[in-house]
Amino acid sequence: MVGMTKRYRIALVPGDGIGREVLPPACAVLDAVGARHGIGFDYDPFDWSCERYAAEGAMMPADGLDRIRHHDAILLGAVGWPGTPDHVSLWGLLIPVRRRFRQYVNLRPIRILDGVPGPLANAPDVDFVVVRENVEGEYSEVGGRLNRGFPDEMAIQEAVFTRPGVERVLEYAFTLAGRRGKDLVSATKSNGIVHTMPFWDELVAERATRHPGVAWRQEHIDALVAKIVLDPGRFDVIVASNLFGDILSDLAAAVAGGIGIAPAANLNPERDFPSMFEPVHGSAPDIAGQGVANPLGAIWCASMMLDHLGHPEAAAEVYGSFTHVLATTPVRTRDLGGTASTKEFTDLVLDAIGHW
Ligand code: ATP
Ligand code: MG
């Protein structure tokens, strides 16, 4: 396409391990589809990672968030490495970004794609979205440890649910369900958790009155996970608290054929700060550096980023390209039972761009 090019500044945080191998394919796909739609990308790389933590004692510099707050979006590969405790990469990078940039929606689309083997590959029409509350709830710093080392030792962990924090993620979920035209399920556990979950349920019922066109119901989390495994085709939008949404989205990714293909978006719906797009998989130290990582999760993230930036046609073209490759060729990376390298698979997706 000729004419005006709209340019975006993207903060690239490849992170550790295969995070560094899956972002270049995602960028190559963005550039290819962007060239067809008059969209350009300027990538600013940041070396924030466990490797940096090992060398300098911090995942990112003290002013790290200020350096990326004016970017249009953040693409993140994966952070985590053996020897660095998980809480370092979480609390040293991911959680501050999500919280300070008000990325209060974690969106995880779950689809069983034609040509992807999985435990439920024969299940028809699996196409749902988990909307996870991303900044408050069970993952809070409130609490403490008492009587360390004594017989009466204890740990207390408080969950924090605020009315505005719950209302805004519910509003997002109900609006999404209204747009998709199907229904919404709220994950709860108000039969066992006596303060926060009844509060969550009340706010869901309240919010539902503003979206009379959306059919909704609530399910206890224990029953819900069983139903997702037994009958995933019956779900459309599932909204859940931070902890429940975390568990649901990994379960759902596994149901859909593996962690290597699953994308996630950490969205700031108000757009006053950048949103962050990251594949669900980790740094996979066992295969890092071999050029065999599956780039699909990251490429799907690129599609979600395009959608968020206001380019649904370009987003659909990326999605159409990789689903076409999966449906019409046997080329797969090792995690999906094939022998292809990251580059071989990426090249096929690049070839398909603009044709599907
Ligand atoms: P983290 O703690 O960072 O989440 P993890 O070890 O829990 O990492 P992942 O790295 O997400 O888990 O994945 C588990 C395994 O699945 C990896 O060790 C790797 O073998 C495989 N895997 C994950 N992602 C991919 C991918 N994109 N391509 C190929 N294999 C993958
Ligand atoms: Mg993991």
Can you spell out the DSSP letters for 227-245? HHHH-GGG-SEEEE-HHHH
Of all ligands present, the nearest one to the C-alpha of 94 is 1
pLDDT of 27 higher than 60: yes
Q: How far is the CA of 282 from the centre of ligand 2 (A)?
A: 5
CA 294/CA 292 separation, integer angstroms? 6
What's the chain's average pLDDT?
A: 94
Q: Are 159 and 140 in contact (CB under 8 A)?
A: yes
CATH of segment(s) 119-128+136-255: 3.40.718.10
What are the residue boundaries of the structural domains of the chain, listed by start?
1-112+257-356, 119-128+136-255
Identify the pLDDT of residue 351.
Answer: 96
Q: Model pTM? A: 0.94
Pocket of ligand 1 (CB under 6 A): 18, 78, 80, 259-260, 281-284, 286-287, 293-294, 297, 333, 335
Structure confidence at residue 2 as a pLDDT band (50, 70, 90): low
Residues 298/17, Cβ–Cβ less than 8 Å: no
Crossing angle (nearest 10°) for helices 342-352 and 296-308: 40
- Which residue's CA is minimally distant from atom 12 of ligand 1? 282
| Backbone torsions φ then ψ of 149, nearest 5 degrees | 85, -5
Site of tokens 């399910």? 219
pLDDT of residue 123: 67
Which ligand 1 atom is nearest residue 16's CA?
A: 3
- Residue 237 β-bridge partners: 129, 184
For the residues 273-295, what does the mean pLDDT come to?
A: 97
- DSSP state at residue 234: G
Nearest CA, atom 30, ligand 1: 335
Identical fold between 1-112+257-356 and 119-128+136-255? yes
Would you say 336 and 294 are in contact if contact means Cβ atoms under 8 Å apart?
yes
CA 5 to centroid of ligand 2, rounded, Å: 38
Distance between CA atoms of 177 and 166, rounded to whole angstroms?
Answer: 16
Check pLDDT > 60 for residue 1.
no
Q: Residue 124: its pLDDT value, please? A: 64
Span of 43-57, 105-119, 261-275, 292-306 with lowest mean pLDDT: 105-119
Complex ipTM, two decimals? 0.93
Q: Does domain 1-112+257-356 have CATH number 3.40.718.10?
A: yes
